Amino acid sequence: MTDSNFRTCGSTGLKVHGPAELLIKANAVVSVVALLIGAIGAVLLVLTRWQAVHLLSAPWYYRILGVHGMSMLIFFIIFFEMAVLYFASTVVINARQVMPKLGWASFGLMVVGAVMVEVMMWTGKADVLFTSYVPLRADPLFYLGVILFAVGALIVTSMFFANLVVAKREKRYEGSVPLVTFGAVAAAIIAIITLLHGAAIYIPTFLWSLGLMEVDAQIYRLIWWGLGHSSQQINVAAMVAIWYMLGALTVGAVVINEKISRLAFVLYILFISMASAHHLLVDPGMGPTWKIVNTSYFMYMAVLASMIHGFTVPAGMELGQRLRGFTSGLFEWLRKAPWSDPGFSSLVFSVVVFGFVGGITGVTIGTEQINIIVHNTLRVPGHFHATVVSGTAMAFMGATYYLIPLIFRKRVAFWGLAKIQPYLFALGMLIFTMSMTFAGSFGVPRRHWDITFSQAPFGIEFSPAVDLLLGIVALGGLMAATGAFIFVAIAVKSVFFGEPLGEITRGTAMVGVPAGLTHPPVHSSNVDELNAELHQPGRSWRLGPAPGTVVLVGVFLLAFVVYFFVNWKVLSFVWKIG
Amino acid sequence: MADLRGNPGPDEPIPLGQRLFDNFFLLLIAGIVIMTVIYTAWGLWEVVSLPPATLP
């Protein structure tokens, strides 16, 4: 392969392989289309759960709920992750894309599969929700669509490893791969675990839908969640890899300890997938030992990994800023950060909401005993919207603001809107997830069309506060959906009708170009001196070289402890003794 | 001397931990085996070994 297929990025100096670039673009574009479909579904859903509006009929509510889940959790996220895998295995290590035709074939499989699933769901032939639990039966084409999509994704994941092997052989990089690529390795391995479980359950279910075999409902749930939850753990690994990348691009973040960060990714590979058992905590078929071992992510090793990243990412950002000269007090590095750079603001909101809301609630409600007061209530979607949407989708949006100029070589359109989009989206999602969590605390069920239970032979009354909370859920959801629509408009306008970028002028602000590219974060000329000073023992109340992060992490741990023990207290109200 | 990513210099041996972490296929196998044994196989065994419920 000659180097004629490569171009050198004027901003980063990285070599970009043409065929890889095209595959990145195609996957990113389809991902945004899926996001648009999912966001339209989100608006319809929140306007139905808002009791005062109650927009959709029951059949359409459940139909759109399935469409929303598949479009967002599978198609939007996984197409974007395919783009991340191509990017991390070629651009980041100056390598070439092997077998690009196979890449296009797998892309075709994924698109055909996704279209089949969407058509089956929109036409009412697959009203089986995201989980498609047996014995709910969909049209066989629905299952076939999922299988085609999964096969395509599995091929891309295999090509990711092929890229790395060829890059090593061709000496495209020396030593270990960069940390961002290592994070993508973790995502790819988790993807293979996920897709193997998907094949193990969807192929028999496809045959069952044709009447050719039986599928046990309990075994379906066990294996399906090896796909359903693990697919969201691919997100976590990919999201953290993007955190490291955005930190470096926006504020010159440093990796404070390569070994620790890589160890945390390895802990994800080994232990995070078994969190799938969270969904089976009230299933009578599984024993308590299996439940506790699995839902503890094998004794909390994967939680430890997230807490490591939750410290090293902001600490690396703080250290990077301090090495640029922002050394005053605890938080000058944060005050003087580029808050108008949508890549940076997306990164910060992603880290904070993922950790404080998604992480804390996830570990707490995944505890076997506490789960009994949470299971199938709105607290569950309150949790996973904080992780997948506020965390992963927000990080992917932030990355897109850099992909548009770096890969599509276009200016980001509607630049003024792009600067406020992360704030609107993050605030909307924060309101949405918090109010959903509170509504769930009152026992409001998830996946439920009418909580007034009208015409039911029994009566259930919720606290009057629930109506208010569901109204706030809708308002937060509509705000976040507006942020998502703005993002889609920016992405579509930039990619298809955007102004070509041309040369980036360093040191001059450019409309439609993030600050990290026009003003690359460069460490001070006296960086060694600053570094030595930061590491002096006894400095900053003995909080080390990143004291601001230590304080923030302390606040996080305090919130974690309080939330965890409040839940145990609430659990004690369930069984009144004496 | 090691570089910023922790890669050893040309004359230094690569530490065992780094060699393990650089072996993606070892990590892949370890990830698949742990999940398959602890979640999937153990879970399947739990389900298939359930005694049939007696009718009331």
pLDDT digit string, tens, across residues A292-327: 999 886 768 889 999 999 999 999 999 999 999 998
Q: DSSP 3-state assignment of A135?
A: coil
Spatial separation of the C-alpha atoms in residues A38 and A487, rounded to whole Å: 13
Q: How far is A527 from chain B (nearest CA, A)?
A: 14
Confidence band, pLDDT 50/70/90 cuts, at residue B3: low
pTM for the model: 0.94
Neighbouring C-alpha atoms within 13 Å toward the C-beta of A177: 31
Closest in A176, A179, A219 to B18, CB measured: A176
The shortest CB-CB distance from A270 to any of B17, B34, B42 is to B34
Q: Quickly tell me which residue has 């690396």 as its tokens.
A: A316
Contact in structure between A163 and A173 (CB atoms under 8 Å): no
Beta pairing class for A6-8 and A15-17? antiparallel
| SS3 readout for A219-248 | HHHHHHHHHHCHHHHHHHHHHHHHHHHHHH
Residue in the block written with tokens 């945004």: A32
Cβ-in-10-Å burial (0-12, 13-18, 19+) of A94 comes to: middle
Report the distance separating Cα A350 and Cα A387, nearest Å: 9
Q: Is the pLDDT of residue A93 over 70?
A: yes
Q: What is the mean pLDDT of residues A229-242?
A: 94
- How would residue A541 be classed by pLDDT, with cut points 50, 70 and 90? low
* Closest by Cβ to B24, choosing from A164, A175, A196: A164
Contacts of A318 (CB under 8 A, 6+ apart): A333, A334, A546, A548, A549
Single-letter code of the amino acid located at A490: I
Question: A457 falls in which pLDDT band (50, 70, 90)?
Answer: confident
pLDDT tens digits, one per residue of B32-41: 999 999 999 9
How high is the pLDDT of residue A176?
Answer: 93
How many Å apart are CA A247 and CA A242, to the nearest integer? 8
ipTM of the predicted structure? 0.91
> Quick count: other Cβ atoms within 10 Å of Cβ A465?
12
Which residues does B contribute to its contact with A (CB < 8 Å)?
3, 5-8, 17-18, 21-22, 24-25, 27-28, 30-32, 34-35, 38-40, 42-44, 46-47, 50
* pLDDT tens string A466-503: 999 999 999 999 999 999 999 999 999 999 999 998 88
> Which whole-number Å values give the CA distances from A79 to A3, A85, A111, A536, B47, in the listed order?
28, 10, 9, 46, 34
Tell me what percent of chain B is helix, strand and coil, each rounded to the nearest 5: 55, 0, 45
Contact B27 A269 (CB under 8 A): yes
pLDDT for position A102: 98
Q: How confident is the model at residue A453 (pLDDT cuts 50, 70, 90)?
A: confident
Measured between CA atoms, how close is B7 to chain A, in angstroms?
6
Separation between Cα atoms, residue A235 and residue A239, nearest integer Å: 6
List, in order, residues 6 or more apart from A292 with CB less than 8 Å away: A368
Closest to A466 in 3D by CA, of A487, A451, A488: A451
Phi and psi torsions of A16, nearest 5° = -110, 120
A244, A180 in Cβ contact below 8 A? Answer: yes
The two three-digit tokens of residue A31, written as one number:
């991902």
Structural domain boundaries of chain B?
17-44
The span from the CA of A413 to the CA of A499, in Å, is: 8
Section A277-290 average pLDDT: 91
Measure CB to CB from residue A273 to each of B3, B18, B35 and give the nearest one: B35
- Cβ(A255)–Cβ(A308) under 8 Å? no
Q: How far is Cα A126 from Cα A142, in angstroms, rounded to an integer?
A: 7
Task: Check CB contact under 8 Å for B50 and A285.
Answer: yes
Give the single-character DSSP code of A7.
E
Instruction: For residue A540, count other CB atoms closer than 10 A to its CB.
Output: 17
Q: Do A193 and B6 touch (CB under 8 A)?
A: no
Are the C-beta atoms of A306 and A387 separated by less than 8 Å? no
Residue B41: how many CB atoms within 10 A of its CB? Answer: 12
Residues of A in contact with B47 (CB under 8 A): 216, 218-219, 222, 285-286
Residue-wise over A374-401: b if at least 16 C-beta within 10 A, else e? bbebbbbbbbbbbbbbbbbbbbbbbbbb
